Amino acid sequence: MPKELHYAYDLEYSHIVREIKTPVTIYASPDSAKGKYIEIDALWDTGATLSIMTPGIAKELGLKPVDKCIVGGINDASKLSDVVIVTLSLPNGIILNGRRFSINNIPGVDILIGMDIITMGDFVITNADGKTLFSFVIPTLNNKISFSKMINRVVR
C-alpha cells in the first residue's frame, strides 16, 4: 500500500501575533489550478464555520454564484450570501479543488480560511520565546497532539 503524502507548512513570526495570515492562491476554476488566479494573504479564523472572500475578489476573478448559504456574524444578523466554488492553493503546496467560499465583506482582509478547510488537517499555534509559530499539515496525522499529556504535572 502506498504511503499517504502529507503537506506541512510552518510560519514563524518574529513576535507574538494576534492573527495568522498566510499567502494563498485562489484560482477561478473550481477543478484545477489553471487559468485566472489571484495571490493574496488569507486570515485563518477558527471562529468561522465557512471560508469567505470579499465581493471585490470574486469580481476580480469573474466568479459567478452557484449557490446561496446563510451566514451569521458575531455582531450582525444572519443573512443569505452567494457561494462560489474555486480552487485554493495553500502555502504547503497542496491544491484544494472545489472549495466553497461565501461572498461577504470582511473587515481588514479579503480572504478568510474557515473551519471547513482548517478541519481538513491539523492546526497548531505556539508562542514560545516571544515568537508565534503557526503550523498546518494536511491531511491530518494519525497521532493527536495533547499538551496536557506532554507535561508531567498539572499546575493548579
Q: Average pLDDT for residues 88-97, to the nearest whole number?
A: 90
Q: Average pLDDT for residues 133-153, to the nearest whole number?
A: 84
State the DSSP H helix or E strand holding residue 126, giving kind and residue range, or none if neither: strand 122-126
Q: Is the pLDDT of residue 4 over 70?
A: yes
pLDDT of residue 1: 62
Contact (Cβ atoms closer than 8 angstroms) between residue 83 and residue 100 = yes
pLDDT of residue 78: 66
Q: Average pLDDT for residues 36-58, to the nearest whole number?
A: 95
Residue with cell 492573527: 19
Long-range (24+ apart) CB contacts under 8 A made by 1-5 are 4/139
- Name the band, by pLDDT with cuts 50, 70 and 90, for residue 70: confident
Instruction: Write down the CATH number for the domain with range 7-150.
Output: 2.40.70.10
- Name the band, by pLDDT with cuts 50, 70 and 90, for residue 10: very high
Give me the helices (H) in the chain, please: 55-61, 115-118, 147-150
- Domain ranges across the chain: 7-150
Nearest residue to 145 (alpha-carbon basis) of 123, 130, 112: 123
pLDDT of residue 81: 87
pLDDT of residue 155: 56
Dist CA 45 CA 30 (whole Å):
22
pLDDT of residue 73: 66
Q: Is the pLDDT of residue 97 over 70?
A: yes
Dist CA 29 CA 49 (whole Å):
23
Nearest residue to 92 (alpha-carbon basis) of 23, 143, 31: 23
Dist CA 75 CA 104 (whole Å):
14
Task: Give the cell for residue 45.
Answer: 479564523
The whole-chain average pLDDT of the chain stands at 90
Contact (Cβ atoms closer than 8 angstroms) between residue 56 and residue 69 = no
pLDDT of residue 56: 97
Q: Is the pLDDT of residue 91 over 80?
A: yes
